């Protein structure tokens, strides 16, 4: 299901980044960096609340017009309670969403649709991730120190905010493809890369099919958090299933940490993995017209501890969002140069 | 934040109801009734999955056009995994939402906005509730048999589906008010009625203020699940804070079970409480023009077990949706009579 947006733009962003992420290639580019999992708070959850709140403060501080009409937010905690707590603190009308690590694209799609209502002018879309809170939400209490297999990923600790509105900017949200839940039977909650590949490939196929484009149309196709192994499987799966040759493809999870950082195993994950990499590395390149057409494929594993304990396999989802550099500004600059 | 919808209608609905609810005043009016918390399944969760899936099947069975473009769904389980599992089984493009028991109005607001995209024609909004799964998600393992205070509510076991589209029907979704998270410091996870009152009153005030209406404008103002005590507090709070005299007001939680059913304490709750009562009792009355203007105030307590254990108070939210009988059909019938 692909829907097109008329007047939705990315206007501003902020990222507050935590441990491991701040040792990686994006070091020094964040709005703020914190270097331990508590950051002066008593609990991991309070730390996550603090960082998400800061991320929203940064984006509002950057804007002349401080008025925000709506907050769309998601995180990995049960009942997305980090988002709930922060929504209370910032006092902005709030809609909570949950599609696990696919939530960023879900927010952009819902947000861009809500902008059709002229009363909603400015929306902040936020994602929150904290390695320790998500480990204990999905797997084991962190105090167990359970060893993990090399194909598991390391949830990105970061809070991201993206301001979208009808106000024209360099980067337009052109269309979005809402994915279907796909489950090919992976049971291992450490192996989310493999589990999410079929959902990602299916959404990519539906997106290209709906829009009549081929895989070369985009300068960059960027998945969320498949990890080193999932990325390889995705490329092979797309080639054998659909015949796509993905030279313009990469995966955020494999780009966000240092390549030689053994602690992060197969790479990043979490709802903040894709937006952290996109907002810090890709969005500035789009603003500078170095990259013009980007397809984000946010991938989410929709498991819970209860579903894992009840031996259910992992249902996965992927939503796609197409972003493009706005042409009229591009021509304008071209003539100036 | 109030937004108006141009072309959003309620076209069809279905409710599958479970224990306690089927002993109440709505008995015999549901699409299907099941009478124990397993309904032949091995776990409570599998039972909840089965009922939600059935509810979607019923609504599709009633329609000539079987094509559904989008599923919006929410439930009370961690990571809304019942919705995730069912979305996989029905194979409809899916967006997961979470605002606890305020999710029904959240779905109607997001759904009605998504209908601005002409590619999305028909949306099913579902809510799922199961008393046993929500008890163990939010409070104690049900095997403990922990006694509860008289002001606590009994989560409604029901799966509801509402089909909305651009296609004209008797009942139009006119506008919606997106609420702000409100927390006045209630700590007791059994006393959600009291906790949610300020959020409900604030959203009612913002709705009336934004639309320039007074509280008498509606034939019925219906809150979601405040319960017997919360309902009284709400009426008093609205009078003392805002001067509203609410003679046209009721609360679904107090209407859904038998008055003399001691097992349910202060009444119903859960995301299916409001839609079950609305779809079974109020919607037919709107179709028959007996009630013409209805304001739904879905109330949600955004706590989690972690937030309760960490001694945080309960952030609450309320979203409002205004529904009205379509005038042109009404005039038409008037002349016929």
CATH number of the domain enclosing B151 = 3.40.47.40
Do both B246 and B138 map to the same domain? no
Contacts with B12 (C-beta within 8 Å, 6 or more apart), sequence order:
B59, B62, B63, B162, B163
Name which of A13-22, A72-81, A142-151, A196-205 the model is least confident about: A142-151
Q: Which is more confidently placed, B218 or B144?
A: B218
Give the residue among A251, A319, A27 at the shortest CA–CA distance from A158: A27
pLDDT in tens, A129-148: 999 999 888 877 777 777 88
Chain B residues with CB under 8 Å of A182 CB are 88
Do both A302 and A232 map to the same domain? yes
Do both A196 and A222 map to the same domain? yes
Do both A22 and A101 map to the same domain? yes
Predicted confidence at residue A135, as pLDDT, reads 87
Strand partners for B332: none
The residue of B46, B94, B124, B298 whose CB has the most chain A CBs within 10 angstroms, and thus the best one to mutate to test that interface, is B94
Mark out the alpha helices in chain B (DSSP H runs): 44-62, 81-90, 103-114, 131-138, 192-211, 227-242, 273-277, 283-287, 305-309, 327-336
Do both A85 and A149 map to the same domain? yes
Using the structure block, give the residue that is written with the tokens 């006045």.
B184
Cβ–Cβ contacts within 10 Å for residue A231, how many? 24
3-state secondary structure of A185: coil
Q: Across residues B117-138, what is the average pLDDT? A: 93
As given in the structure block, the two tokens for residue A231 are: 């990325």
Q: Across residues B40-51, what is the average pLDDT? A: 97
Do both B203 and B94 map to the same domain? no
Distance between CA atoms of B76 and B51, rounded to whole angstroms? 14
Predicted confidence at residue A332, as pLDDT, reads 56
Q: What is the ipTM of this complex?
A: 0.95
Find the closest chain B residue to A86 by CA distance: B181
Q: What is the CA radius of gyration of chain A?
A: 19
How many angstroms away from the CA of B86 is the closest CA of chain A? 9
Tell whether A8 is within 8 A of chain B (Cβ): no
Do both A240 and A126 map to the same domain? no
Contacts with A145 (C-beta within 8 Å, 6 or more apart), sequence order:
none
In Å, what is the CA distance from A310 to each residue of A305, B11, B122? 8, 37, 33
Tell whether B309 is within 8 A of chain A (Cβ): no
Distance between CA atoms of B97 and A98, rounded to whole angstroms? 5
pLDDT in tens, B286-327: 999 999 999 999 999 999 999 999 999 999 999 999 999 997
Do both B151 and B216 map to the same domain? no
Contacts with A179 (C-beta within 8 Å, 6 or more apart), sequence order:
A102, A199, A202, A203, A206, A317, A318, A319, A320, B93, B94
Distance between CA atoms of B14 and B18, rounded to whole angstroms? 13
Phi and psi at residue A161, to the nearest 5°: -130, 135
Distance between CA atoms of B9 and B168, rounded to whole angstroms? 6
Do both B244 and B299 map to the same domain? yes
Predicted confidence at residue A270, as pLDDT, reads 96
Q: How many distinct structural domains can be found in chain B? A: 2
Do both B202 and B78 map to the same domain? no
Where in the sequence is the domain holding B116, given as residue range(s)?
A: 2-165
Final residue belonging to a domain, choices A130, A165, A200 = A165
Whether residue A110 and residue B114 make contact (CB cut-off 8 A), yes or no, is yes
pLDDT in tens, A243-293: 999 999 999 999 999 998 988 899 999 999 999 999 999 999 999 999 999
3-state secondary structure of B249: strand
Beta-sheet pairing, B171-177 with B249-251 = unpaired
What region does B253 belong to: left with phi over 0, alpha with psi -120 to 50, or beta?
Answer: alpha
């Amino acid at each position: 299901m692909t829907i097109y947006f008329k007047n939705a733009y990315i206007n501003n962003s902020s990222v507050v980044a935590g441990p491991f992420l701040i040792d990686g290639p994006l070091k020094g580019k964040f709005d703020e960096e914190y270097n331990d999992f508590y950051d002066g708070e008593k609990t991991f959850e309070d730390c996550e609340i603090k960082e998400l709140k800061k991320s929203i403060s940064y984006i509002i501080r950057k804007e002349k017009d401080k008025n925000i009409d709506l907050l769309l937010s998601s995180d990995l905690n049960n009942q997305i309670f980090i988002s709930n707590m922060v929504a209370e603190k910032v006092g902005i009308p709030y809609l909570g969403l949950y599609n696990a690590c696919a939530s960023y694209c879900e927010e952009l799609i819902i947000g861009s649709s809500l902008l059709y209502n002229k009363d909603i002018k400015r929306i902040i879309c936020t994602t929150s991730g904290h390695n320790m809170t998500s480990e204990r939400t999905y797997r084991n209490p962190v105090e167990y120190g359970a060893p993990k297999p090399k194909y598991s990923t390391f949830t990105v600790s970061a809070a991201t905010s993206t301001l979208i509105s009808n106000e024209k900017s360099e980067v337009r949200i052109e269309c979005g493809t809402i994915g279907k839940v796909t489950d090919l039977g992976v049971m291992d909650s450490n192996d989310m890369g493999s589990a999410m590949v079929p959902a990602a490939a299916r959404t990519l196929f539906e997106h290209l099919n709906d829009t009549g484009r081929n895989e070369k149309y985009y300068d960059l196709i960027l998945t969320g958090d498949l990890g080193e192994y999932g990325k390889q499987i995705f490329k092979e799966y797309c080639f054998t299933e659909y015949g796509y040759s993905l030279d313009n493809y990469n995966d955020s999870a494999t780009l966000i940490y240092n390549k030689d950082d053994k602690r992060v195993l197969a790479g990043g994950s979490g709802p903040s993995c894709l937006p952290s990499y996109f907002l810090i590395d890709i969005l500035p390149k789009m603003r500078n017209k170095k990259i013009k057409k980007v397809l984000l494929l946010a991938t989410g594993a929709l498991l819970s501890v209860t579903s894992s304990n009840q031996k259910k396999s992992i249902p996965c989802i992927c939503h796609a969002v197409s972003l493009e550099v706005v042409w009229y500004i591009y021509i304008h600059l071209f003539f100036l140069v």
